[in-house]
Amino acid sequence: MLNVIDYVPGNTVLHRLNPVTKLALAAAIIIATVLADGYAALIGLLLLTLVLGIYAGSGSRLLSLLKVLVPVAVLMLVLQLAFVRRGEVIALFITTDGLVSGTKACLRLLGVALPLVLVLTVTKTTDLANACVEKLHIPYKYAFTFTTALRFVPVFTQEMNAIMEAQTARGVEFDTKNPVKKLLLMLPVCVPLLVTSVGKTDATALAAEQRGFYLRTRESSYRRYPFRARDVVVGVLCILLIAAGAAL
């Protein structure tokens, strides 16, 4: 089963960048998106993320993520339209100001969500953790927690699917068309999921300790993550990107 955040193997420049640089790139796009105020800039940044994704071979992942995010964005637009009451009325409860701030909020939501996912699809989580420990001096404990959480996402998704299948086969109406009813049915099922996840986390902690987790230091990592020329170039581009975002 493939997940949105799974690593997509490849050998593009994006793959070969230092994981920390990739994080910086994602951060730069996000900051620029937050700072930018024009439609051109917002759409441009979104397109930049998509183009990078297509270049790195994870375009289809980003698109499938978009499919999930667009309904959320539309919901946000409706809320913005309902709450922002300034400007001229266009139709019903829709005002000009509401439309502008609503559409921008939508674009920002998409622009903030996609870059991080892009980074995760072009970086192995172990590399990300080790590079962060080496370059950013993050304690390994936190890096390990983060990568374990990411690794558990597909495991728990599978578990949840198996539970829902089992419950459906018992006659619980998970196959209902009504989303509210489905959500209500899902709540009691979270109990078995919680029970399994606590057990799994404990087993992971034990297994890690039995493989010398507490001996690990910043120097332990076998792989090294030096900054290269391309990292410097991308770093400079990141600064320019933020500056451009603030200006536009």
Partner 1 sequence: MQPTADPIIEMRHVSFSYGHEDARALDDITLAIEPGAFVGVIGPSGAGKSTLASVLSGAIPHHFTGQLFGETIVDGSDTCEVTLTDISRVVGSVNQDIDAQMVASVVEDELIFGLENFGVDHRHIEKFIEAALDAVGIADLRDREIATLSGGQKQKVAIAAILALAPRVLVLDEPTAALDPVSSRMVFDVLRDLNRDEGITVIVIEQKVALLSEYCDRLVVMNEGRVALDGTPHEVFAHSSELRAIGVDSPRTARISNSLAHRGLCPAGDPCLNVDEAAALIADIVKARAGAPAPVEARALGRATASPHAPAPRPHAKGAEPIVRFSGVTFAYPGGGASVNNLDLTVYPGELVGIVGQNGAGKTTATKLLNGLLKPSSGSVVIAGLDTREVPVSRIARHVATLFQNPDHQLCKNTVLEEVAFGLELAGVSQTDAEARARRVIERFGLPADEAPFSLSRGQRQMVALASVVVCEPAVVVLDEPTSGLDYRECMTVMETVREMAEHGSAVVMVCHDMEVVSDFAERLVVMADGCILARGATAEVFADAALMARARVKPPQVVELSQRLAREVSPAFARISEVAGIVDTTEALAGGGANAAEAPLPSATKADAATDAREA
Per CB under 8 A, residues contacting partner 1 are 1-2, 6-7, 124-126, 144, 147-148, 151, 154-155, 159, 162-163, 165-176, 188-189, 191-192, 195-196, 199-201, 203-216, 220-223
Q: Which is nearer to partner 1, 87 or 192 (CB)?
A: 192
Strand partners, 94: 91
Q: Which is nearer to partner 1, 105 or 152 (CB)?
A: 152
Helix (H, G, I), strand (E, B), or coil: what is residue 188? helix
> Which amino acid is it at 182?
K
Question: Residue 173 CB, nearest distance to partner 1 (Å)?
Answer: 4
Question: Residue 48 CB, nearest distance to partner 1 (Å)?
Answer: 27
Specify the DSSP element, H or E, that contains 126.
helix 125-135
Question: Residue 220 CB, nearest distance to partner 1 (Å)?
Answer: 4
For residue 58, give both structure tokens.
Answer: 């994870």
Question: Residue 163 CB, nearest distance to partner 1 (Å)?
Answer: 5
Q: Assess contact for 14 and 80: CB atoms under 8 A.
A: no
C-alpha closest to that of 122 among 2, 231, 14, 233: 14
> Which amino acid is it at 203?
A
Q: Which is nearer to partner 1, 22 or 108 (CB)?
A: 22
Q: Which is nearer to partner 1, 5 or 94 (CB)?
A: 5
> Which amino acid is it at 209?
E
